[in-house]
Amino acid sequence: MGTPQTALPITNQYGFYEIRMESIGGLGANLSGKILGELGALYLGYNSSNFASYGSEKKGTPVKSFIRWCDPTQEIRMNSPVEKPHLLGLFHERLAGKVPVMAGVDKDSIVVVNTELGVDEMRDRLKMHAGTLVCVDALNIAIEAKTRINMVMLGAMAKASGFIPLETLKQVVIDTIGDRYPKALPGNLEGLERGYAETQSKFFEDDGKYPYQEYTEVKREWGYDNAPIGGVNPHFGSMISNDLTATREGFIPVFKKEACINCGMCDTTCPDMVYQFVMGEYKGKPSMVNLGPDYHHCKGCLRCVEACPTDALTVGIEREHEDTILKVHVRNKDLIVDKMDFEDAGVSGWVDSESIYNKI
Positions touching ligand SF4 (CB under 6 A) are: 253, 260-266, 269-270, 272, 274, 290, 293, 298-304, 307-308, 310, 312-313
Provide the minimum distance between the beta carbon of 38 and ligand SF4 in the complex, in angstroms, as a whole number. Answer: 32
Among residues 18 and 272, whose Cβ is nearest to ligand SF4?
272
3-state secondary structure of 24: strand
Q: Specify whether the CB–CB gap between 95 and 127 falls below 8 A.
A: no
CB of 318 to ligand SF4, least distance (A): 11
Q: How many CA atoms lie within 13 A of 254 on its CB side?
A: 14
**What's the sign of the alpha-carbon dihedral 232, 55, 299, 271?**
negative
> Closest separation between CB of residue 330 and ligand SF4, Å?
12
Closest to ligand SF4 by CB, 43 vs 251, is 251
> CB of 288: closest distance to ligand SF4 in angstroms?
9
Least distance (Å) from ligand SF4 to the CB of residue 253? 5
Q: Give the nearer residue to ligand SF4 in terms of CB position, either 85 or 237.
A: 237
Query: Which residue, 105 or 265, has its beta carbon nearer to ligand SF4?
Result: 265
**What ranges in the chain are assigned the alpha helix state H?**
29-38, 119-126, 138-145, 149-161, 166-176, 185-197, 265-269, 303-307, 325-328, 342-345, 349-352
Residue 183 Cβ, how far from ligand SF4 at the closest point, in Å? 23
Q: How far is the CB of 22 from ligand SF4 (least distance, A)?
A: 22
Please say which residue, 192 or 240, places its beta carbon nearer to ligand SF4.
240
* Cα distances (angstroms) measured from residue 154 to each of 123, 176, 192, 335: 21, 14, 6, 38
**From start to end of the chain, where are the E strands?**
17-24, 47-53, 62-70, 87-90, 110-114, 131-136, 200-204, 251-255, 275-282, 285-293, 313-317
Residue 315 has phi, psi (to 5 degrees) of: -85, 130
Nearer to ligand SF4, 182 or 280 (CB): 280
CB-nearer residue toward ligand SF4: 109 or 290: 290
Q: Which amino acid is at 151?
A: M
For 21, 352, 355, the CA distances from 359, given in Å and listed in that order, are: 46, 10, 8
Contact 27, 89 (CB under 8 A): no
Nearer CB in complex with ligand SF4: 172/260: 260
Strand partners, 49: 68
Q: Report how far residue 308's alpha carbon sits from residue 267's, in angstroms, rounded to the nearest whole number.
A: 10
For the CB of residue 284, give the shortest distance to ligand SF4 in the complex, in Å.
Answer: 18
